[in-house]
Amino acid sequence: MSLQKTKKAYGCSLRAAALLFGFLLLPIGQPALAQTSTNSEKLVAIVNGISVKQYEYDLAKQSLEVELVNLAPAQQQQKILQHLVDLKLMSEAARHDGFDQRIEYKQKISYLAEQTLNNIYFANKVLQAIDDAALLNYYKQEMKKITPTIEMHARHILFDDAEEANKVLKLLNDGADFIKMATEYSVGPTKTQGGDLGFFTEGEVEPQFSQAIAMLKVGDYTKQLVKTKFGFHIIKLVGTRQKPLPTFEKVKQSLYGILVQRRVEALRNKLRKNAKIELFIEQDTKDVKNNTATPTATPASNVTN
pLDDT digits (tens, 9 = 90+) for 172-197: 999 999 999 999 999 999 999 999 99
The domain locations on the chain are: 3-141+250-278, 150-239
**Facing residues of 271 across strands?**
none
| 237 and 213 Cβ atoms separated by less than 8 Å | yes
CATH number of 150-239: 3.10.50.40
For 99-131, give the DSSP string.
GGGSHHHHHHHHHHHHHHHHHHHHHHHTGGG--
> What's the pLDDT at 280?
86
What interhelical angle do 103-125 and 248-273 show, nearest 10? 120
Which among 114, 129, 113, 140 is positioned nearest to 264, based on CA atoms?
129
Which percentage of the chain shows pLDDT scores above 70? 80
Helices then strands, each counted (H, E), the chain: 13, 6
Average pLDDT in the 37-52 region? Answer: 89
Give residue 236's region: left, alpha or beta (phi > 0; psi -120 to 50).
beta
Average pLDDT in the 238-250 region? Answer: 92
203 versus 166: the higher-pLDDT residue is 166
Strands (E), the chain: 43-47, 50-53, 150-159, 196-200, 226-228, 231-242
pLDDT of 129 strictly over 70: yes
Write the pLDDT tens digit of every residue in 54-93.
999 999 999 999 999 999 999 999 999 999 999 999 999 9
pLDDT of 296 strictly over 50: no
Burial of 126 (0-12, 13-18, 19+ CB in 10 A): buried
- Rounded Cα distance between 295 and 16, Å, is 13
What is this structure's pTM? 0.55
251 versus 35: the higher-pLDDT residue is 251
pLDDT of 305 strictly over 90: no
Side chain identity at residue 258, one-letter code: I
Average pLDDT in the 126-139 region? Answer: 90
Mean pLDDT of the chain: 85
Which among 272, 266, 264 is positioned nearest to 122, based on CA atoms?
264
